[in-house]
Amino acid sequence: MKIGFIGFGEVSFTIASILLKNKSKNKANVELYSCSENRSEKTKQLMKSIGIKDLKTIENLFKVVDIIISANSPVSALKIAKTYDKNIKKIFIDFNNISPETTNKISNIIGNNFIKGSIIGNIKSKEHIIYLSGEKSEKIEILKDYGLNIKIVGKSPEIASKIKILRSIYTKGVSALLVETLNIAKSMNLEETTLNTIAIGECNNFKTKAISRKENSLKNAKRKYEEMCEILEYLNGFKDNSYEDIDYTMIKSIAKKFKYLNKNYEN
């Protein structure tokens, strides 16, 4: 089984590491590939660090592998899908945080070999779930045997995307409010006390998780803003006479907050 990654950031690196760790437990071998063309030196070193075979170009990747995994930024997902050649008939899995509308555009390009994947939770955690939807989702259930917690949710690719955006609205809203609250508290020299008071009645290890959530929000503000823009674009088209009572004020505020964080907290 030959799997190729288009984009080799944290998500691809983690998935590749999980597959390599578990391949010794299975009879079927797994070979992993990516392409370094137009990629940073950091990405090339990441590929090299776990022995990913470099095929240099996307065209070469399409020719060699059986399964293609696209894990990039939301803004590049459609552009990457347009490089797909229908004649090769390879399974194409999209792990980008894109709207159902963009998902359908990609599905129209790739056809029934397209599978939408939505990663719920931290992919590094054992508790992660990968929701898959698409006509050929069942064909890659074998990846369960390689350490990936896969759950198939339907034949239509947009189902997994809808699940992801609904969760994203909530989690990014919580993150945006947390960052804003703690920044105000910090200006009053009450950040630690505020964390302690919020922690009352919350989950175990709340303070540790809250600090991690804040740091992640600041570090990835640009990507989160792009994802919120995708969500809003979809919702604007989704809103018709049947849903005229839906108010998107809070969702717009979340997008605006991450835009502000990206501009003012550059890493």
At the topology level, CATH places domain 162-264 in N-(1-d-carboxylethyl)-l-norvaline Dehydrogenase; domain 2 (1.10.1040)
- pLDDT (tens digit, 9 = 90+) per residue, 126-142? 788 999 999 999 988 88
Tokens of 63: 């020719």
Residue 243 has pLDDT above 90, yes or no: no
Residue 174 has pLDDT above 60, yes or no: yes
Total Cβ atoms within 10 A of residue 119: 20
Q: Can you give the pTM of this predicted structure?
A: 0.82
Q: In whole numbers, what is the pLDDT of the chain averaged over residues?
A: 89
Domain map of the chain by residue range? 2-154, 162-264
pLDDT of residue 145: 85
Cβ(161)–Cβ(100) under 8 Å?
A: yes
- pLDDT (tens digit, 9 = 90+) per residue, 69-104? 999 888 899 999 999 887 888 999 999 988 898 999
Residue 266 has pLDDT above 80, yes or no: no
pLDDT of residue 239: 58
Residue 68 DSSP SS3: strand
CATH of span 2-154: 3.40.50.720
Cβ(156)–Cβ(111) under 8 Å?
A: no
- pLDDT (tens digit, 9 = 90+) per residue, 49-72? 999 999 999 999 999 999 999 998
